Chain A
């Protein structure tokens, strides 16, 4: 199974070579066999006696992250959709994309996506699932931005990336929490620990985070906004990713986790409300679109909302209907996207206002569209699969599980009405799609290309899908026992095999369907009259505006924030650094009672030392106030010599010697530079800035004084210096202990100190000697 999952990715390595080597033959022909082989591999599993298969391949066993593949009914349904529609889409793209396009990139991305999607639905390990999940986001990003020279493509790609990755990361958070609680990374093992998860305090957080991932991926309200913009991708991509497979990853995730969360009432409330809201809003918005793919995008969103709502209901009938509709939606929506692509390809436009009267010109395409749109609308005809699942949906809305939660009690009676409302608009846009394109006045003069029927190769894929629509419509029970029931069992164990019939007698769902058709037809015919309602709602309101505003404001806000502290002024940076040091150290010292003042065991104060100290203090203070360059340098010299005197007093002859020499050299150096430096100006500074400088410098000085005193007052252990004094002669062979330490006991310090001096000398030399402008001359 691992090989089946990774096959597309492995083949993707060869694709660039193939596209270069055989550039006259369409690369898609080679690629076509990959999904087809995978389809053949997995179709073997279909049957009445299907039992789940589990295969484990080690990846990072120490972290419990392994390629655990678990093929149950749900995975099998998705795997067959992915590989089956994948084959059809690749076949379709052979005719859709011209050889002059960058085919190599296209098929690499597509194969990458295929592996990712197979991985998502087969993984039993949460973290492997997440890995593949993000790979779908990345490959979808690449495919949406396929025509990257178009501004709209880049915008759409970025938008889908930001939204889906936001959801993906939330989901990862949920996964980590789940792993921490259950101590396992396997979903199936988590299902056995459902009680533990349901009693956890983190339950709302876990469910919220995971649902966030599912809702963003499956374009649920209010995260649906990326899907219409993803229509900038080539049509085969839209048909594959944005109708049949990737957008159902969220659905898959919710279905996968249903056994864990199903009894939690907030799961019912949130998923149902979001699903129904998505269904209604997107079907309402779809009627307003003028772009064929725009209509289909909103239609996809609303159908996904419907499936999501059914998963939320969680009743046996609803789960079965959801699974059934996943299959049905994939067939008719895939074919409709391909039809839209054919129309675009053969007329040069997707704008429904410029199309019309294509029925006689493109009869085959029109026939395909009839089946697709009528099935989508759920018209009660015995050969359309859409009707069956729609009717099951209505039935499910009428028989919901009783929940004690007061919020649930409010929404349960409303759900059937909302479902009918959404379905009415579904009917309207379906009719609009078909009749708007294929009937009405011919206006071929507005088209760039003279419309004609598509080549047969392009029609093969949608024909196969439409045959699927009709086949499921005519013989719904043929897919039931062998296939769907296993998928439904994976979600909800207690599903019994139920025959699917076209005719159930005069029951409420049928009346609901008839109401949808009746009111829908009325609304479609009077569309011109009420379309003004869109100026009221949504009017100026739009989630896109929220998104754009968010993206823009985050940008401007962070720029503004960065500009407040990244001023380019060294002084500001120094203030921030020192201020932080002072603040943090003071807080730590005070909170840990670090300041410790003891005044015993001190050396005596003598007048001569005091005099030197006073001189140094006066000199140091004077550097702050002098305005003469020479003065400043000399006063600094005074400080240095003062320190040297202190070294003499404190019995440090080597230090005093070094300090004297170095101070002399330093002052000489200062004086050398003195001539070349501009004059010290009188300081013109604001009082605020002066105050700031004063506070920081005094704070820093006070801090160091306090630390010095309290360090001196604390003695943890005896110094190790006795050892140096004892062994300086015995081991080092010298009388001067300081020198023995420097060259013998701690000789490495000295070595690198010499290196520092050497580097400084080289640097000074190169600063003075090497000039870029001189070289240029």
Chain B
């Protein structure tokens, strides 16, 4: 199963990068979202998948899944959410100010 999740993570990153390379702002934001999903699954596969119970302590249970990757991913989810929302608002403001969401048209002047 780890192989399959690794492939899934790869596919998410592929589509994420592909969207990132597009011209439209919305696609770029979607690309970053997909990339972060891919990364989270990547971290998850690094700990073993499904080797025990959820990491909530109960008497009589010895076998738990690895809690550390989960904590890391949790932190990462929140941060990527912050970034995504900021990017979105930035995209929205950019599109409103410049009347375009085409990245190829959003360029600095010659001397910048």
Which residues of A approach B to under 8 Å, CB–CB? 568-571, 574-575, 578, 599, 602-606, 609-610, 613, 616-617, 620-621, 623-624, 629, 632-633, 636, 639-640, 643, 646-647, 649-655, 658-659, 662, 665-666, 669-670, 673, 676-678, 680-681, 683, 692-694, 696-698, 700-702, 704-705, 708-709, 711-712, 719-721, 724-725, 728-729, 735-738, 741-742, 746, 749-750, 753, 756-757, 759-761, 763-764, 767-768
Contacts and interface: CB of A to CB of B under 8 A. Distances in A.
B34 to A, nearest CB: 6
A742 B56 contact: no
Given A677-B91, A681-B24, A725-B64, 17 more contacts: A599-B3, A602-B3, A610-B4, A613-B8, A620-B12, A621-B11, A658-B78, A701-B11, A708-B46, A729-B57, A735-B57, A737-B57, A738-B70, A738-B74, A742-B74, A757-B78, A767-B86
Contacts of A768: 89, 93
Contacts of A704: 9-10, 13, 38, 42
Given A599-B3, A678-B101, A712-B6, A753 B96 contact: no
11 contacts: A575-B21, A603-B49, A639-B12, A655-B70, A662-B78, A662-B81, A666-B85, A673-B89, A677-B25, A724-B68, A756-B79
A764 B89 contact: yes
Contact of B71 (A568, A639, A746): A746
Minimum-distance CB pairs A-B, first 5: A701-B14, A705-B10, A760-B82, A708-B6, A697-B18
Contacts of B26: 629, 632-633, 673, 677, 680
A755 to B, nearest CB: 10
Contacts of B38: 701, 704
Contacts of A652: 44, 54, 65, 70, 73
Nearest to B24: A680
Contact of A741 (B16, B44, B67): B67
Given A654-B70, A720-B68, A620 B15 contact: yes
Contact of B93 (A624, A759, A767): A767
Contact of A736 (B20, B55, B73, B91): B55
A504 B82 CA distance: 96
Taking residues whose C-beta sits less than 8 angstroms from the other chain, chain B's interface range is: 35 or more
A603 B48 contact: yes
A669 B68 contact: no
Given A620-B12, A666-B33, A738-B74, A578 B17 contact: yes
B75 A753 contact: yes
Nearest to B39: A704
Nearest to B14: A701
Contacts of B14: 697-698, 700-702
Contact of A659 (B9, B54, B77, B104): B77
B16 to A, nearest CB: 8
A602 B13 CA distance: 23
A701 B17 contact: yes
A673 B20 CA distance: 18
Given A617-B8, A639-B12, A708-B42, A735 B56 contact: yes
Contacts of B91: 673, 677
A697 B68 CA distance: 30
**Is the contact region of chain A dominated by helix, strand, or loop, or is it mixed?**
helix
Contact of B95 (A609, A676, A683): A676
A736 B56 contact: yes
Contacts of B84: 666, 669
B29 to A, nearest CB: 8
A738 B21 contact: no
A605 B1 CA distance: 5
B93 A604 contact: no
Interface of B: 1-27, 29-30, 33-34, 37-38, 40-42, 44-58, 64-68, 70-71, 73-75, 77-79, 81-86, 88-93, 95-96, 100-101, 103-104, 107-108
Contact of B45 (A702, A708, A746, A759): A708
A55 to B, nearest CB: 54
Contacts of B74: 654-655, 658, 738, 742
Contact of A719 (B9, B19, B68): B68
Nearest to A675: B92
A712 B4 CA distance: 12
A620 B82 CA distance: 22
Nearest to B83: A760
A759 B86 CA distance: 10
Nearest to A740: B67
A773 to B, nearest CB: 10
A20 to B, nearest CB: 39
Contacts of B95: 676-678
B74 to A, nearest CB: 6
A689 B64 CA distance: 48
A623 B104 CA distance: 20
A574 B104 contact: no
A602 B30 contact: no
Given A681-B24, A697-B15, A764-B85, A569 B78 contact: no
Contacts of B81: 662, 665-666, 757
Given A571-B21, A738-B67, A728 B57 contact: yes
B51 A603 contact: yes
Contact of B96 (A609, A676, A709): A676
Contacts of B15: 620-621, 623-624, 697, 701
A610 B2 CA distance: 12
B82 to A, nearest CB: 4
B49 to A, nearest CB: 5
A616 B78 contact: no
Contacts of A575: 21
Given A570-B103, A621-B11, A737 B67 contact: yes
A571 B4 contact: no
A616 B55 CA distance: 26
Nearest to A713: B2
A633 to B, nearest CB: 8
A177 B26 CA distance: 57
Contacts of A736: 55-57
Contact of B55 (A617, A620, A737): A737
Contacts of B96: 676
Nearest to B15: A620
B77 A708 contact: no
Given A602-B1, A603-B49, A712-B45, A662 B77 contact: yes
Contacts of B79: 753, 756-757
B64 A737 contact: yes
Contact of A636 (B4, B9, B33, B108): B33
Contacts of A735: 56-58
Contacts of A571: 21-23, 103-104
A761 B86 CA distance: 8
B41 A643 contact: yes
